[in-house]
Structure 1
Amino acid sequence: MCARCWTAPTSPLVTALRSDALNKLLYGVLMIALGLVYLAMPSRCSPSGGGSRASMDLSPSEREAIGGDRLAPDGSFNAMVFRAWVLGLIERGEHEKAAEEIVWLWRYGAVLDGPFVGVRGSYLIQDIRSLAEVHPPVLNLLRGVRDELEAGFGVPVPDQRREFRAWRARDEARRDWITLNDLIGERERTLAWVAALGPGEIERAYSGWAAEKVVRVLIASNREDLVTRTVSDPVRYFEREMDSHDRMLAVSLGPQIDRMTEESKGRQAAVWYVALLANGDARTGERLMELVFEPGRGVDPAARAEGFAAVLDARSIPVPTRVGTLRPRGE
């Protein structure tokens, strides 16, 4: 099955969210930064290259067991150089070998080369999707990885305060499981897992990154009704979100990026507002909206209002007066 063959029916909300250019821009900035980091590292013209040491505390024997002959002679591993080699395999039509190596890179690249984690969650996923279009068997290999992760979920999530390393490993495994479900076209597994959880259970047991990943899957699947199950108190959750938003905007990256940041935050808040309305909780939705548009928040409330209103417009939901008066058009 092609990695892009399965998609949820596209709702107006999804279309509105996809029009947001902020993620693309910030993503590009992040990739440029990662590229500069890698350019500063020593490398060799071999698939393993040279480069950064693992960010994890691995012994030489553990690194050898994981990397084998993929490591450079000094035991280092440059995942970006290795990725370029894998892409070369794909270009030459060596798809079976490329599939084996790209799945290995997904599993171990960031373990051996810590800075690769950002590329692993972005560009590498696109590499896998592209390979799956010409070589679908790569999805079977990923399904095996997903099943291995799933087999480890039979025990309770470790306590974050007492067993942090075990908790972090479990959190990363769950995020990978969600991503792999998407890649192989079995998103319904993620939806079934969320539906079976109690309200706020994801927030209590997993990181904010995991919760945000779940929310993105729910939106893409047109399951806004499940969004509010990810946290126990949406207003408190967004209070923390807005505090973080204000801290980020305290250092301006320029008017254009600040505006897109504000618009993106407005869209995010609107998704939760729509979800609360869908669950019959208009009162909490009103409280959330008041928090997001509290005077003194951010640097461009008009852009935030525009993002918020765009999501509501896409769903033919009336835009609250408070938001409408802030829009640039005065709607």
Structure 2
Amino acid sequence: MSAPSDAPEKQVEESGAAAGAASGAPAAAERSLRQIAWQRFRRDKVAMGGAVVVVLLIAMALLAPLLTRLFGFPPNEFHQSLMDPLTGGALNDPADPASGIDPWGGMSSEHLLGLEPVTGRDMFSRIVYGAQISLLVAFGATVLCVVIGTVLGIVAGYFGGITDTIISRAMDIFLAFPLLLFAIALAGVVPDGAFGLQGNALRVGLLIFIIGFFNWPYIGRIVRGQTLTLKEREFVEAARSLGAGSGHILFRELLPNLITPILVYSTLLIPTNIIFEASLSFLGVGINPPTPSWGGMLSNSLDFYTTSPHYVIIPGLAIFITVLAFNLFGDGLRDAFDPRSSD
């Protein structure tokens, strides 16, 4: 008597594999971490919305000159003939000074977001160019912070001992700095020309240095903690047994496995840097006028919030939407790369 045949089970397995291949969907075991994360992220509609807004903001900043030519005016071009000389608000009818103040701040087909009080500068152009400053400082400071924090964090976690002690105590010292007060003091004493830079080029470089250099311990601690776990894994031991040096293990074995937490934390760090730059410009130690910045526009709007409320609302909304979009995008990335999340 012959043994029972398992041909039906094999046929089912083969047909299932063929169906999976025909549909183009890889099996769960065959999917890479990137594919799994992308599928999770794509299902998160809120995070996808945040990502779309982030892409649009970056495109707006890059295309600022083109957008102002198509939909606005140069950001520092005055239109005082459209403003009421007594209150500084936009006139309902520029040809009739007695027509009263426009409650919409001079919004029209020519001035999409209205006019700045007193000067009559185009708000749309100033918001678009302000995005350049905010994103440039935020991205530059984030890159500097990530580079310093990653290098020192991975070195501290891997070597341990006295190296870890020195770097960890340095983190504690930097975290004890009252950063806002220090930034105000440093930005206030630096002259208009230094280090081969002048004016706002120097200001942007100074803001990137202050924000990035003094914020690196936050990501440094995350990288250090992850490195302490990873250095005990089998792939590191295998690399050591094959004679790999410390540099190879640090940057060829450990660093690729740290990309995910670094990427996620970076997206959450960018909105913090945007708020910090806006705060410094609001306090008058950031970007020098007349270069537009969202924080500077908010600072100038305080005298006109009763007659021209749009001057407060528009730059405030620009900061709010930008920070919210990056936070939603970062939260979505964190959930997508979380190994405990369900598929």
TM range (shorter): under 0.3
Q: When the two structures are superposed, what TM-score results if normalisation uses the length of structure 2? A: 0.22
Q: When the two structures are superposed, what TM-score results if normalisation uses the length of structure 1? A: 0.23
Larger Cα-atom Rg: 2
Higher relative CO (Cα under 8 Å, sequence separation at least 6) belongs to: 2
